[in-house]
Amino acid sequence: MAAFTAEAPKKYLIGGNWKCNGSMASVTKLISELNACGPIPPHVEVVVGAPALHVMLVSSLLRKDIAVAAQDCGSYGKDGAYTGECSAAMIKDAGCEWVIVGHSERRGSFGGDYAESSVVIAKKTQAAVAAGLKVMLCVGETLEQREADKIAEVVCAEQLGACAGMFPPAIWANQIAIAYEPVWAIGTGKTATPEMAQETHAMIRGWLDGEIGPDAARAVRIQYGGSMKGANAAGLLAQPDIDGGLIGGASLTPDFITGCACACPLEK
């Protein structure tokens, strides 16, 4: 196994997914509100995932201590005859540092016959890493899969397993964060209890341990992505294997910083 070296001390990762929301006017207003929030704690990294049409606006106006992510990227790893796609190279050129891949909405809830498979998502992750982007790789189970006790089978063996062997430990630790998002808790107002979330995060950490070794596994940031907001962030972020959040609705308000980023504890 390749030697592992961390590029920087591990920070909490608070990502915001704006999804398909906003006009030029409303996005400009939101940027102004986020810019006016107080300082971000030094042990926290904050990223916002903007719609593709707004990425350039966000990159130009948003405070520089908040990074910008695209919400998806092409799986081909290059420019070319892929109408409607944005390649990883284009995303990097537009000023993004991050990209979100594998969100549950793209895996199934609106994809229908065109739902993205774990193999496609692994190819997107590979393309993004090759372009020098960092990746928030989303995984998670449906309510039916949870009730059938198939979390490990779906989240680790199938979804993460598609990326098994693709990257050395240093890439996992420095360029890939895993966002665990129980599908039944996204946009529903339901949230896994901190203990439920911790159990699955620990399962993911165990999978990483077997794939890339214990040191690199500890360095990988695992975010919780199911209806986190200021009111429940502290309890979730206090769990030993929860290293941040991938936040939807609350990221469209200043609560994203004042309630979520500022809830990251100094020590666990």
Kindly list the catalytic residues. Answer: 103, 181
Cα within 13 Å of Cα(200), Cβ side? 28
Helix then strand count (H, E) for the chain reads 12, 8
The count of residues in the chain is: 268
Question: Is the CB of residue 157 less than 8 Å from the CB of residue 118?
Answer: no
Helices (H), the chain: 24-35, 55-61, 88-93, 104, 118-130, 143-147, 151, 169-175, 194-212, 214-219, 230-237, 255
d(CA 146, CA 93): 40
d(CA 25, CA 52): 15
